[in-house]
A and B are shown apart, each in its own frame.
Chain A
Amino acid sequence: MPHIPTDTDVYEVFAQHGSSTPLNHVGSIVSPRRDTAWHLAKETYGRRDDLVTLWVVRRDDMIVPSAEDRGLLAAKTRMPHRQPGFPTARRRDRAAAAETAGSASQVRDSAPAAHRDEAPGAGEAGLADLWLALADDLFVLGNRLGERICDYIDVEEALAVGSIGQEALAHAGTILTLRGFDQPAVDAWFFDRAQEQWQVSRVIERITDWPSTVACGLVVAAAVTVLAEQTAQVETDAAQLSAIAAVREEQLVHLDHWRRWARALSDWPETRAEFTRAYAEVTELAGDVFGARPQGGPAGALPGDPAPAATLHERLAALVGGGPGSQLPEHPLPRTAGLGGSALAHSLAQGRVVRDAYAPGVFS
Chain B
Amino acid sequence: MLTANAAGHRGYELWDPMPDDVREGARRFASVQALNELVGVLQYVEWLDRAPGHTRRQMLMAKIQDEVGHGHAVARVAEDLGVPRERIFLDYLEGHTKLHNIFHFSFQTWEELGAGLLLTNSAAICQFQSLAKGVYLPYARALRKVEREESFHYQHALDLTHEVMTHGDAVQRRRVQDAFEVWLTRILIYLGPPDTDTLHTNRMWQVGMKPDSNDAVRQKWLNKIIPVFRKLGVHVDPELVRQAPSGEWEYAMPDWAEVKKLIANGGPSSQKRLDWVRNALDRNAKYRRAMQGVA
A residues engaging B (CB < 8 A)?
A: 18-20, 52-53, 79, 81-88, 90-91, 104, 142-143, 146-147, 149-159, 162-163, 165-166, 169-170, 172-173, 183, 186-187, 190-191, 209-211, 261, 263-265, 267-268, 270-271, 347, 350-355, 357-359, 362-364
Which of A147, A191, A362 contacts B167 (CB under 8 A)?
A362
Tell me how far the C-beta of A357 lies from the nearest C-beta in chain B, rounded to whole angstroms. Answer: 7
The reply to whether the CB of B294 lies closer than 8 angstroms to some CB of chain A is: yes
Contact: A267 with B68, CB < 8 Å? no
Known: A149-B64, A166-B61. A261 touches B48 (CB 8 A): no
Q: Mark B72-90, 1 if CB is under 8 A from A, else 0.
A: 1001000000000100010
Contact: B155 with A86, CB < 8 Å? yes
- Nearest-neighbor residue (CB-CB) of B55 within chain A: A81
Which of B58, B167, B277, B289 contacts A169 (CB under 8 A)?
B58
Which of A91, A166, A270 contacts B58 (CB under 8 A)?
A166
List residues of chain B with CB within 8 A of the CB of A150. 41-42, 45, 64, 68, 276, 280
Separation of A87 and B151 alpha carbons in the complex (Å): 11
List residues of chain A with CB within 8 A of the CB of B159. 87-88, 90-91
List residues of chain B with CB within 8 A of the CB of A104. 167
Contact: A264 with B3, CB < 8 Å? no
Tell me how far the C-beta of B63 lies from the nearest C-beta in chain A, rounded to whole angstroms. Answer: 9
Contact: A156 with B72, CB < 8 Å? yes
Which of B3, B42, B54, B284 contacts A153 (CB under 8 A)?
B284
- Nearest-neighbor residue (CB-CB) of A214 within chain B: B287
Contact: A82 with B62, CB < 8 Å? yes
Known: A87-B159, A151-B280, A362-B167. A53 touches B64 (CB 8 A): no
Separation of A157 and B64 alpha carbons in the complex (Å): 14
14 A-B contact pairs sorted by A residue (CB < 8 Å) = A81-B55, A81-B58, A81-B62, A82-B66, A82-B152, A143-B48, A146-B57, A149-B65, A151-B280, A152-B280, A162-B64, A267-B290, A353-B52, A363-B163
Interface majority SS (helix, strand, loop, mixed), chain A = helix
Contact: B290 with A270, CB < 8 Å? yes
Contact: A153 with B287, CB < 8 Å? yes
Contact: A186 with B54, CB < 8 Å? yes
List residues of chain B with CB within 8 A of the CB of A165. 61
List residues of chain B with CB within 8 A of the CB of A362. 163, 167
B residues engaging A (CB < 8 A)?
A: 1, 3, 11, 13, 38, 41-42, 45, 48-59, 61-62, 64-66, 68-69, 71-72, 75, 85, 89, 110, 137, 151-152, 154-156, 158-159, 162-163, 167-168, 172, 276-277, 280-281, 283-284, 286-291, 293-295
Q: Which of A142, A147, A150, A173 has the most CB of B within 10 A?
A: A150
Contact: A261 with B291, CB < 8 Å? yes
List residues of chain B with CB within 8 A of the CB of A153. 284, 287-288, 291
Separation of A319 and B175 alpha carbons in the complex (Å): 51
Which of B42, B56, B158, B293 contacts A363 (CB under 8 A)?
B56
List residues of chain A with CB within 8 A of the CB of B69. 159
5 shortest A-B CB distances, which residue pairs? A162-B65, A268-B290, A87-B159, A355-B52, A363-B53
Which of A83, A152, A154, A209 contacts B152 (CB under 8 A)?
A83
Contact: B45 with A147, CB < 8 Å? yes
Separation of A263 and B41 alpha carbons in the complex (Å): 30
Contact: A265 with B290, CB < 8 Å? yes
Q: Which of A53, A149, A353 has the most CB of B within 10 A?
A: A149
Separation of A351 and B110 alpha carbons in the complex (Å): 12
Contact: A152 with B89, CB < 8 Å? yes
